[in-house]
Amino acid sequence: MKFFVDTADVPAIAELNDLGMVDGVTTNPSLIKKSGRDILEVTKEICDLVDGPVSAEVTATDAETMIAEGRKLVEIAENIAVKVPLTWDGLKACKALSDDGHMVNVTLCFSANQALLAAKAGATFISPFIGRLDDINLDGLDLIADIRTIYDNYGYETEILAASIRTVNHISECAKIGADVITAPPAVIQSMVKHPLTDKGLDAFLADIKSAGISIL
C-alpha cells in the first residue's frame, strides 16, 4: 500500500520522505491556507522533493476553468496530479485532463456511485473521505470496501486513495480491505509506530542494560 502525506508542510514531508515513507503528497485549499504559502510556489517545492504524485486542487467549479487551471498546474512538474471535485463539471474536467495524459485525483467522494462515475471518467485516483463519513455516524471504511469490490468486479484501474484519515486504525483497516493508497497527516503516520508494550518492553530492557552494565561501543 502506498503512503501519501496529506499536508503542504514542506519540512514535515521532508522528514517522512527521508525515511522512505512518502510515495506521494495530497494537498487541498484548506492545507494550502494552513501553510500560509502561495499555492504555485509551495506545490513546486513539494514536487521537487517527492518523486511520486503530488495532488494540487483546482479552485474553479465550472469545467472549462477547472481544465484551464489543471493545465496550468501540470506545468509545475511532471508529478502533478490535478485534483478536481466530484461534481458533474469535475467529471468533465477529469475526462479532458486524463485524455490529455495527465494524472487526475477526483476528490470529495462520499458514495460508491460517485466512485463508479470517476472511474468511468478516467480518474487516476478516487479519494473517498473516511473521517468525514465517520463524523456523521456513517462508516467510511464500508465505502472503501464497496469501492474495492466494484472496481475489482469490472477491472477499473483507478486507484483507491483513502482520504480524510484520522486514526491509525483507519490505515490498518484500509490495508486489510485493499485500498491502493492512504493519505494521512504526518502526525497520524508517525503515531503508527506507537505501542504501549513496545514502550514497556524497552523500559525493562533499559533497566537490565543499566543494572548489568551491558555495553557494546
> Which residues are tagged catalytic?
83
Binding ligand E4P (rule: CB under 6 A), the pick from 15, 21, 71, 131 is: 131
Continuous segment of H or E residues that includes residue 107: strand 103-109
Nearer to ligand E4P, 10 or 32 (CB): 32
C-alpha cell at 200: 514497556
110 touches 133 (CB < 8 A): yes
In whole angstroms, how close is the CB of 189 to ligand E4P at the nearest point? 12
CB 88 to ligand E4P: min, Å:
20
Q: Closer to ligand E4P by CB, 82 or 163: give it.
A: 163
Our finding on whether 183 is near ligand E4P (CB under 6 A) is yes
Collapse the DSSP code of 116 into the 3-class scheme (helix H, G, I; strand E, B; otherwise coil) and give the result. helix
Tell whether residue 28 is a contact of ligand E4P (CB under 6 A). Answer: yes
Q: Which of 129, 173, 174, 181 binds ligand E4P (CB under 6 A)?
A: 129
Q: Which residues, other chains included, contact 43 with Cβ-Cβ below 8 Å and sequence gap of 6+?
A: 8, 27, 54, 56, 73, 76, 77, 80
Q: Is 187 or 214 the residue whose CB approaches ligand E4P more closely?
A: 187
Cell triple for 114: 460517485
**Cell triple for residue 43?**
506545490
109 contact partners, CB below 8 Å, separation of at least 6: 86, 115, 118, 126, 127, 128, 129, 143
Q: Residue 97 Cβ, how far from ligand E4P at the closest point, in Å?
A: 17
Among 117, 144, 164, 181, the residue binding ligand E4P under the rule CB under 6 A is 164
CB of 133 to ligand E4P, least distance (A): 10
Residues in region 68-127 near ligand E4P by CB under 6 A: 107, 127
Give the three cell numbers for residue 149: 469490490
Q: What's the min distance (Å) between Cβ of 63 and ligand E4P? A: 20
* 3-state DSSP of 177-217: HCCCEEEECHHHHHHCCCCHHHHHHHHHHHHHHHHHCCCCC
Near ligand E4P by CB under 6 A: residue from 6, 9, 69, 173: 6
Give the residue from 69, 98, 66 showing the smallest Cα distance to 85: 66
CB nearer to ligand E4P: pick between 3 and 129? 129
7 interacts with ligand E4P by CB under 6 A: no
Contacting residues toward ligand E4P, per CB under 6 A? 6, 26, 28, 107, 127, 129, 131-132, 163-164, 183
